[in-house]
């Protein structure tokens, strides 16, 4: 047996360790010196199905040598049960067997263990006695009332500790009678400390309802090499307990869950349209590639989540007549948040090395619910809410005048010397209901779930459905116009174009195959349908439009001039749809093959099928010649397959050290297939290709990529010290056939210094953990990036079709993999009797050979090739993250807690490679310059201005603009702070939760300023500040006036929940019910001149710009939740 | 039992160890290219080289006068709008005419410092795309020459000469259309690319002349290609002011020679039952919306030639409907409305016109008038009446350019000619280009006589700092 173990260990670590005497592992509790309870801590392993209680008791007695005393008159000894436990303390196993039988254990002061009938007590006598008592009870989630398994219940001042079982029950015995202080801890929850009277010789019940907290050292983290306690890791990893968050916050998507709860994560929303994606960035812009997206792993299965890829937009894009390029919903939001148990966020290479090169931008690990033992527990909630656009839009200025000489009535520009001003009017069509498309939206959501199980199998099934109508609606003016021209009312989709529906069904199942093996199966199917129209793209022009009420004519901004418009809206008649069907499934097999050897295998696949369309139905365009209809269709499929195999061996080393070695391999294959086609001259009443008079432009794109890596991770630990090392070798089809195999090392250290005897601040710190980690990761160039590739097609030339090829990519044979090195250090502390928790991390992430798509100017090959990938230099992100939680008030009646996270990130391009000169990105809005942040903002500066002609107006010629670009700021926030507060009143019958976010340092490109400038105060009001006049006047030469470094403070959400009394809940046959009023986006305080700086016109890439797209709406909803 | 489990465990662990230590490269490194991506090796064959050659020709075909995705992004159309040949009528903008086309038509084309300033309606969408199409021809020609030289059959070396000539045509059109300061960056065959600063208009023409010379040196076996290169060289030399050289270059062009860019029109371009687009020329009326994006102009902007009202058979046009405001749209009779008429890229008529202008420059009035009348007698049936000498130098120049305008109507020459009138004959821009009120209700014509270089060039080309000169 021992020889076999060392054989495997030798294989795992390459035979570099000499054998030492092995010890059988046990899960014994901290102290075994207490002889009275020591037998109960002996590990037992049971796999018994449908046996009597007495048989199970005998088996435990035999394995742990407890020498139990009991009589056959005890109740329920003949009841049939099943039990499967591995290395569980005998006491806990006994508790499992005895649960619900009315039998309890008693331990005499001489250590004799007796089983007796449970007795009721009716009074509490606080009388010290030499005979101890027993304490038992149940630990549940204060919000969901679900039992909590694994809670640690301890009697302070003693060595007594118990762990709650899968029904939440714990048992402590013997507890010295008299007043006792009992503390209950659970990963992810606030500990509760409570005094109670332990009655001599009696069974004393004490239940605990634990409230969720952000993070604890004892939390279990899912790493690439399996679950680990947070305390063992040298990295800071954020863990979100989703049920607890969702119960008190208005959560509608996974993005909502992440948005304000992860230090170091910035979320930039694309628009405020229902279902639109967001850009997630962990610890700044790491890679200079467009793809800075973290990877997404759901129950061990990689999910396609490349939000920066061009195909993340509507696959039928570039077909709209007004240039509207709509984004499509993100794949991360295809996951039903109600089906998630936890989300863990690994922020960089130091934490994610073993996940492989794809993980250089961080990893989001999602674990779905798999249920727990017990009867079926049903839960349901339903939401109904409304959305609207808060506040009003800023007013514009319009100057009426008449022309000198002919008295013609004209728009009289401030600087127009040939015009005499008659009046100045202020206006904003978006604030006028007749012309504004901003109305009210609504949302309904319903979720139903059930979970439960036996010792042999646990399950969870969750189903959700939501339906949201966006706030955009066709303005009443345009409705009238449409009816007048077409003779019919606009169709409903045109009236309310934004409509987002999604449904999801997910199941999780865990089965025990034997006492040492279990298998988990998970499967989910979801579909989202997003409808919208080109009406959205009209918002920017509507912001800069004036209507003359005397003649009904509309005037808009065309470049630098005001011109009469054809009508109110240019385009609102193209329908845009994006449909995605997502299927995830996976299987996970764990086998504790030997007490010291665990084998794990994961396999799964993620498939996303998309059907996106942009269509102009025949005869629905109210003006213009394109009345025969057209449709563009984009069909896409992504398929990710992955397999992970892992072996973990544990052994003891001399000097009290323990070594755990994991060796694993994983394979991930990604296949993408997209197909686009368009047709026109549609059949009446359809938006289909069937019957279309002309079918054009079919295109097809396919790619298959695969990565394979293997890793080894030896971890050494000794009591309160954990040293983890690791190495991953990566290969992949994207590397190119001649690339070397990159190796990525890692090392991390975690030290619970507060456990040391010499630690001097024990009164201050309950726990203090120091940690440090170093790791590497890389980003590989794509296969097409090295090769010069061609586009081949059959093209008509002269007299027939010929085969033609043109360049598709330039290729760069000199590319090297990008390598990222990250160092992270920090501490975690629990202070003041766990009333204050503090976490601090500092990190430095350096990218070498940064891969950047350097734009290729059109003088090289037109627009058929826009960029070429190059290793351009070194990029560094440096930052800190702080999280703190404090509970100033914690009584039975009132609990008030505050949590805050702060993160600061500094980004800089340290150097550019030889021959690489500063350049703009593909959008032309951000630039890469050594010594400045990656993709920083640059513009020609306004050096000065002077009213030379003394007319009180600054004209363009009076503004001095510098020739050289100057740095304006960075394109992502460098400081983010989140604040949240939780107030629980009347024993949690009323809870109030609110959270806020501050962002600073984002230099926003406000392109709506450019559009609006002809109607701006600066151009129309001579009393406007000269500086503002100069900025607007110079916009024909520089974007200087469009940039603004913004700070925002957003009242993100508020939830007021009321737990309905049980008597009332029972009227609905529910065990518990709650009603909550919840709101989101409740306030925005900012120095930004535009409407909302936190929305972005670009769905892909790294640029951020506000072109006037729909801001984030305000949402109020009522949620009713019930458990059965 | 325990021994058996131990054996299984060790076996599984060993399998994991073995699978983990096998070469990752061997598993995934040699994934095939996606099926829609041609293997680069397939281009390095005689057939591949020929496909690259045809790639150049089709890119030029579209850039010169074909329908790209935008419908009116081609040299003939843009030249027509900038000059007095065409009015913009593309529907779409708030004024009823696409703002981008209107910006070009009204010569209001500011040069922008950065792409985000190039807002919709600035014209950049059109001229930027044309710039890209012509530059793509240059890049593809270079790539194709490399493949033809290395892998093409020896008998096809004459095609290399053809590629030089086509690149010369693309550069001539660039110089005709865009401001002084055009970067002639290069993409090297099988290598890297090299950025270049802006070249002056004169330097671009000179570069084109060098390309034509290379074409002439390699095209000996093809009279057609030789003649194309000769006329192209003559056109470029004329633009540089080397009138004698231009005349010499085209002297050998026989009457009747024509090099056409062909467009099959609708109903021809089918593969596998699917209709292919982009096989029509700029004159095609959009079959979906039933509208032509232009209208044949007549006396546009005060200075415009009376193409329509003169009744000249070379430039007659017919009404083909109306725009959104009810204004009649005229379509040139020279081209069919289905976009299937070939467009002349170079022909003997241009050669004779070059010779005539060179003779005028040299003071040989007899040859000058003789060449012009030779065309009127021989190039059209029935023949046109002979011209007479108007008697003054300016009038002779006017007559010469009027004849060029009629003979070369809607072939992409007019914009270059108007610039030459300013550059070489000292005419004021306001007396040459359309000027005054723009179509009555849309303000005035602007002052621009060239297209700016799109700011995407400035954003990505560190050696390019903008137009050297926006003048003619």
ipTM for the predicted complex comes to 0.92
Which residues of chain A have a CB within 8 Å of the CB of B264? 796
CB < 8 Å from A in window 206-265 of B: 262, 264
Average pLDDT, chain A: 83
Phi-psi region of A437 (alpha: psi -120 to 50; beta: other; left: phi over 0): alpha
How many residues appear in chain B?
A: 472
Name residues 566-605 of chain A within 8 A of B (Cβ).
566-567, 570, 591, 593-594, 597, 599
Task: Report residue B94's pLDDT band, with 50, 70 and 90 as the boundaries.
Answer: very low
Give the pairing type, strands A203-205 and A133-141: parallel
CA-to-CA distance for A988 and A966, rounded, in angstroms?
Answer: 55
A942 near B CB under 8 A: no
DSSP state of B141: H
Asked if B121's CB is within 8 angstroms of A558's CB, the reply is: yes
User: Which of chain A's residues have a Cβ under 8 Å away from the Cβ of B228?
Assistant: none
Mean pLDDT confidence for A446-450: 95
Query: Distance between CA atoms of B438 and B446, rounded to whole angstroms?
Result: 9
| pLDDT confidence of residue B451 | 96
pLDDT category at A267 given cuts 50, 70, 90 is: confident
pLDDT at residue A736 greater than cutoff 70: no
The answer, for A24 touching chain B at a CB cutoff of 8 Å, is: no
Asked if A967 contacts A937 with a C-beta cutoff of 8 angstroms, the reply is: yes
Whose tokens are 């000498």? That residue is: B389
- The residue ranking higher by pLDDT, A446 or B326, is A446
Q: Is A1004 on the interface with B (CB under 8 A)?
A: no
HEC-encoded secondary structure of A807-860 = EEECCCCCCCCEEEEEEEEEEEEEECCCCEEEEEEEEEEEEECCEEEEECCHHH
Lowest pLDDT segment from A833-837, A925-929, B301-305:
A833-837
**Contact predicate A860/B185, CB 8 Å:** yes
pLDDT at residue B268 is higher than 60: no
pLDDT, position A551: 83
- Residue B288: which pLDDT band, with cuts at 50, 70 and 90? low
Which residue in A has a C-alpha nearest to residue B133's C-alpha?
Answer: A862
What pLDDT score was predicted for residue A740? 57
B34 has a chain A CB within 8 A of its CB: yes
Q: How confident is the model at residue A15 (pLDDT cuts 50, 70, 90)?
A: very low
Residue B26: which residues within 8 A CB-CB, separation 6 or more?
Answer: none
Phi-psi label, residue B82: left if phi above 0, alpha if psi -120 to 50, beta otherwise: alpha
The pair of three-digit structure tokens given for residue A128, joined into one six-digit string:
């010290």
Dist CA A33 CA A23 (whole Å): 19
CB-based contact (8 Å) between B23 and chain A? yes
Residue of B nearest to A665 (CA): B20
Look up residue A227 and give its two tokens: 């679950």
d(CA A556, CA A562): 5
Q: Residue A337 has what pLDDT? A: 94
Return the higher-pLDDT residue of A246 and B224: B224
Q: What is the pLDDT of residue A862?
A: 93
Q: A792 and A821 in contact (C-beta within 8 Å)?
A: no
pLDDT at position A743 over 60? yes
A1024-1073 pLDDT, tens digit per residue, is 888 888 988 888 778 888 889 999 999 999 999 998 887 888 888 888 88
Question: Is A631 in CB contact (< 8 Å) with chain B?
Answer: no
Integer Cα distance of A678 and A698 in angstroms = 7
- A–B: how many Cβ contacts below 8 A? 334
Mean pLDDT calculated for residue range B5-30:
62
Q: Which of residues 636-695 of A touch B (CB under 8 A)?
A: 645-647, 649, 663-665, 667, 680-681, 693-695
At A1071 the pLDDT is 80
Element (H, E) at A660: strand A658-680
Q: What is the pLDDT of residues A876-929, one digit of tens each?
A: 999 999 999 998 887 767 889 999 999 999 999 999 888 788 888 777 778 889
Encode pLDDT of A33-62 as tens digits.
344 456 777 888 888 888 888 888 888 888
> Which residue of A647, A794, A1039 is in closest CB contact with B271?
A794
- Chain B environment of A806 (Cβ under 8 Å): 52, 55, 59, 136, 140
pLDDT digits (tens, 9 = 90+) for A489-515: 999 999 999 999 999 999 999 998 988
Question: Which residue from A321, A702, A794 is facing B35, i.e. has the nearest CB?
Answer: A702
Mean of per-residue pLDDT scores for chain B: 87
Least confident span in A740-749, A789-798, B275-284, B376-385: B275-284
pLDDT for the residue numbered A89:
82
Residue A308: Cβ within 10 Å count: 19
Q: List pLDDT tens digits, range A378-432.
A: 999 999 999 999 999 988 888 888 877 777 777 777 767 778 888 888 899 999 9
Instruction: Determine whether the interchain pair B37/A1105 forms a contact, defined as Cβ–Cβ distance below 8 Å.
Output: no
d(CA A759, CA A181): 24
- pLDDT for position B36: 64
Averaged pLDDT, B9-26: 63
- The whole-number pLDDT of residue B391 equals 94
pTM of the model: 0.75
CA dist A798 and A806 (Å) reads 18
pLDDT in tens, A624-635: 545 678 888 999
The Cα–Cα gap between A939 and A1031 comes to: 12
Q: How far is CA A328 from CA A23, A498, A528, A530, A531, in A?
A: 56, 13, 10, 8, 10
For residue B71, name the pLDDT band (cuts at 50, 70, 90). Answer: low
Residues of chain B positioned with their CB less than 8 A from the CB of A730: 24
User: Is A559 within 8 Å of chain B by CB?
Assistant: yes
Return residues 306-365 of B near A (CB < 8 Å). Answer: 324
B428 or A680, which is more confident: B428
Point out the residue among B116, B186, B264 whose CB comes nearest to the CB of A1007.
Answer: B116
**Contact between chains at A694 and B288 (C-beta distance less than 8 A):** yes
Identify which has the larger pLDDT, A31 or B438: B438
User: For B146-156, what is the mean pLDDT?
Assistant: 86
């Amino acid at each position: 047996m021992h020889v076999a173990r060392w054989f495997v260990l030798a294989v795992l670590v390459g035979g570099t360790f000499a054998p030492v005497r092995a010890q059988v592992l046990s899960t014994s509790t901290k102290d075994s010196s207490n002889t009275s309870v020591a037998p109960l801590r002996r590990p037992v392993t049971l796999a018994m199905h449908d046996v009597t209680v007495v048989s199970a008791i005998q088996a435990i007695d035999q394995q742990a040598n407890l020498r139990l005393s009991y009589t056959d008159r005890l109740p329920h000894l003949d009841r049939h049960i099943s039990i499967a436990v591995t290395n569980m303390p005998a006491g806990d196993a006994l508790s499992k067997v005895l649960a619900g039988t009315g039998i309890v254990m008693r331990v005499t002061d001489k250590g004799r263990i007796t089983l007796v009938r449970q007795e009721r007590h009716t009074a509490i006598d606080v009388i010290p006695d030499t005979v101890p008592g027993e304490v038992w009870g149940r630990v549940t989630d204060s919000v969901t009332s679900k039992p909590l398994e694994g809670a640690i219940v301890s009697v302070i001042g003693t060595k007594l500790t118990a762990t709650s079982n899968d029904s939440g029950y714990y048992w402590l015995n013997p507890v010295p009678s008299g007043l006792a202080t009992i503390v209950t801890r659970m990963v992810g929850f606030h500990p509760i400390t409570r005094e109670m009277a332990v009655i001599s010789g009696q069974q004393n019940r004490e239940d605990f309802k634990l409230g969720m907290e952000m993070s604890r050292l004892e939390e279990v983290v899912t790493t690439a090499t399996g679950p680990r306690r947070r305390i063992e890791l040298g990295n800071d990893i954020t863990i979100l307990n989703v049920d607890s968050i969702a119960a008190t916050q208005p959560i509608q998507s996974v993005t909502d869950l992440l948005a304000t709860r992860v230090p170091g994560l910035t979320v930039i929303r694309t628009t405020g349209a229902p279902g639109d994606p967001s850009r997630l960035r962990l610890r700044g812009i790491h890679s200079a590639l467009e793809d800075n997206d973290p990877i997404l792993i759901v129950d061990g299965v990689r999910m396609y989540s490349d939000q920066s890829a061009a195909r993340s937009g509507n696959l039928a894009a570039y077909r709209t007549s007004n240039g509207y390029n709509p984004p499509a919903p993100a794949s991360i939001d295809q996951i039903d948040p109600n089906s998630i148990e936890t989300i863990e966020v690994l922020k960089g290479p130091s934490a994610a090395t073993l996940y492989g090169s794809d993980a250089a931008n961080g990893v989001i690990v999602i674990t779905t619910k798999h249920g727990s033992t017990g009867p079926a527990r049903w839960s349901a909630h339903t939401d109904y809410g409304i959305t609207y656009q808060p506040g009003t839009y800023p007013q514009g200025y319009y100057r009426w005048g008449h022309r000198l000489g002919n008295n013609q009535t004209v728009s009289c520009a401030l600087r127009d010397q040939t015009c005499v001003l008659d009046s100045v009017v202020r206006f904003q069509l978006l604030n006028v209901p007749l012309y504004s498309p901003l109305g009210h939206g609504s949302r309904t959501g319903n979720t139903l779930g059930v979970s439960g199980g036996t010792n042999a199998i646990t399950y969870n099934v969750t189903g959700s459905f939501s339906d949201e109508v966006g706030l955009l609606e066709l303005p009443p003016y345009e409705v009238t116009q449409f009816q007048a021209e077409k003779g019919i009312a606009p169709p409903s989709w045109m009236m309310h174009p934004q409509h987002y529906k999604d449904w999801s069904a997910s199941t999780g199942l865990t089965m025990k195959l034997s006492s040492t093996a279990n298998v988990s199966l998970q499967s989910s199917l979801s579909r989202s349908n997003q409808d919208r129209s080109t009406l959205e793209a009209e918002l920017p022009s509507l912001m800069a439009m004036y209507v003359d009420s005397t003649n009904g004519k509309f005037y808009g901004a065309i470049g630098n001039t005001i011109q009469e418009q054809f009508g109110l809206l240019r385009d609102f008649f193209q329908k845009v749809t994006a449909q995605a069907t997502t299927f995830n499934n996976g299987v996970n097999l764990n086998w504790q093959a030997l007490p010291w050897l665990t084998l794990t295998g994961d396999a799964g696949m993620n498939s996303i099928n998309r059907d996106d369309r942009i269509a102009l139905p025949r005869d629905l365009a109210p003006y213009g010649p394109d009345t025969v209809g057209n449709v563009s269709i984009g069909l896409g499929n992504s398929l990710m397959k992955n397999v992970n195999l892992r072996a973990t061996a544990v052994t003891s080393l001399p000097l009290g050290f323990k070594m755990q070695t994991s060796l694993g391999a994983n394979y991930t294959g990604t296949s993408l297939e997209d197909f686009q086609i368009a047709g026109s001259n549609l059949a009446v009443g359809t938006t289909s290709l069937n019957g279309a008079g002309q079918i054009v432009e079919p295109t097809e794109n396919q790619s298959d990529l695969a990565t394979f890596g293997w890793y080894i991770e030896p971890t050494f630990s000794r009591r309160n010290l954990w040293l983890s090392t690791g190495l991953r070798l990566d290969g992949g089809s994207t590397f190119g056939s001649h690339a070397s195999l990159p190796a990525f090392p890692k090392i991390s250290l975690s030290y619970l210094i507060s456990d040391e005897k010499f630690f001097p601040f024990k009164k201050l710190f309950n726990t203090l953990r120091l940690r440090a980690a170093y790791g590497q990761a890389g980003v590989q160039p794509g296969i097409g990036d090295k090769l010069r590739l061609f586009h081949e097609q059959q093209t008509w030339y002269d007299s027939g079709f010929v085969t033609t090829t043109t360049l598709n990519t330039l290729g760069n044979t000199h590319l090297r993999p990008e390598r990222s090195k990250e160092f992270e250090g920090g501490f975690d502390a629990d202070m003041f009797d766990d009333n204050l928790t503090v976490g601090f991390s500092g990190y430095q992430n350096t990218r070498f050979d940064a891969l950047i798509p350097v734009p290729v100017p059109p003088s090289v090959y037109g627009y058929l090739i826009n960029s070429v990938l190059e290793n351009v230099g070194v990029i560094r992100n440096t930052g800190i993250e702080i999280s703190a939680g404090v509970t100033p008030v914690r009584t039975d009646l009132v609990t008030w807690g505050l949590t805050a996270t702060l993160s600061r990130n500094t980004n800089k391009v340290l150097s550019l490679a030889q021959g690489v000169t500063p350049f703009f990105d593909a959008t032309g809005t951000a630039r890469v310059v050594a010594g400045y942040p990656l993709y920083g903002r640059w513009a020609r500066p306004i050096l000065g201005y002077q009213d030379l002609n003394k007319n009180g107006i600054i004209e363009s010629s009076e503004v001095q603009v510098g020739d050289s670009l100057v740095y304006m700021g960075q394109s992502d926030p460098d400081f983010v702070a989140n604040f949240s507060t939780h107030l629980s009143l009347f024993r949690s019958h009323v809870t109030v939760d609110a959270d806020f976010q501050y962002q600073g340092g984002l230099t926003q490109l406000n392109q709506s300023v450019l559009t609006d400038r002809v109607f701006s105060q600066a151009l129309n009001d001579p009393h406007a500040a000269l500086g503002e006049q100069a900025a607007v006047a110079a916009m024909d030469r520089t974007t200087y006036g469009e940039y603004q470094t913004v700070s925002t403070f957003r009242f993100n959400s508020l939830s007021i929940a009321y737990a309905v009394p049980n008597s009332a809940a029972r009227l609905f046959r529910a065990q518990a019910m709650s009603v909550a009023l919840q709101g989101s986006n409740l306030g925005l305080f900012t120095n930004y001149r535009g409407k909302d700086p936190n929305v972005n016109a670009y769905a892909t890439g790294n640029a951020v710009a506000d072109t006037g797209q729909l801001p984030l709406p305000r949402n109020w909803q009522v949620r009713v939740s019930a458990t059965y | 039992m325990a021994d058996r489990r131990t054996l299984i465990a060790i076996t599984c662990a060993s399998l994991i160890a073995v699978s983990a230590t096998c070469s990752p490269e061997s598993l995934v490194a040699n994934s095939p290219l996606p099926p829609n991506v041609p293997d680069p090796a397939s281009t390095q064959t005689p057939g591949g080289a020929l496909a690259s050659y045809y790639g150049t020709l089709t890119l030029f075909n579209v850039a010169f006068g074909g329908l790209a995705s935008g419908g009116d992004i081609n040299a003939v159309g843009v030249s027509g709008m900038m000059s007095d040949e065409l009015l913009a009528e593309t529907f779409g903008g708030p004024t009823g005419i696409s703002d981008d086309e209107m910006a070009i038509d009204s010569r209001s084309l500011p040069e922008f410092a950065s792409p985000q300033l190039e807002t919709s309606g600035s014209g950049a969408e059109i001229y930027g795309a044309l710039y890209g199409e012509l530059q793509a021809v240059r890049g593809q020609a270079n790539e194709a020459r490399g493949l033809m030289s290395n892998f093409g059959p020896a008998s096809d070396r004459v095609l290399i000469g053809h590629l030089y000539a086509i690149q010369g045509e693309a550069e001539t059109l660039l110089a005709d259309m865009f401001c002084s300061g055009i970067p002639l960056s290069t993409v090297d065959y099988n290598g890297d690319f090299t950025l270049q600063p802006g070249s002056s208009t004169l330097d671009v023409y000179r570069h084109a002349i060098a390309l034509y010379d290379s074409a002439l040196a390699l095209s000996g076996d093809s009279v057609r290609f030789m003649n194309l290169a000769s006329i192209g060289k003559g056109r470029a030399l004329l633009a540089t002011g080397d009138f004698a050289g231009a005349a010499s270059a085209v002297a050998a062009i026989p009457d009747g020679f024509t090099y056409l860019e062909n467009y099959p029109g609708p109903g021809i371009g089918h593969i596998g039952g699917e209709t292919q687009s982009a096989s029509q020329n700029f004159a095609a009326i959009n079959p979906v919306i039933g509208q032509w994006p232009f209208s044949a102009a007549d006396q546009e902007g005060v200075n415009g030639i009376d193409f329509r009202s003169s009744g000249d058979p070379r430039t007659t046009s017919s009404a083909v409907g109306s725009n959104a405001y009810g204004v009649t749209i005229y379509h040139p009779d020279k081209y069919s409305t289905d976009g299937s008429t070939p467009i002349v890229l170079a022909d003997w008529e241009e050669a004779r016109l070059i010779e005539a202008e060179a003779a005028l420059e040299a003071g040989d009035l007899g040859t000058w008038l003789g060449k012009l009348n030779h065309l009127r007698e021989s190039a059209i049936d029935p023949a046109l009446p002979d011209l007479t000498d108007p008697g003054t130098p300016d009038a002779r120049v006017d007559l010469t350019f009027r004849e060029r305008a009629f003979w070369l109507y809607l072939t992409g020459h007019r914009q270059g000619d108007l610039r030459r009138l300013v550059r070489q004959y000292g005419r004021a821009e306001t007396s040459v280009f359309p000027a005054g009120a723009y179509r009555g209700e849309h303000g005035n014509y602007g002052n621009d006589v060239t297209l700016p270089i799109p700011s995407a060039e400035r954003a990505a080309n560190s050696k390019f700092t903008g137009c050297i000169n926006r003048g003619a």
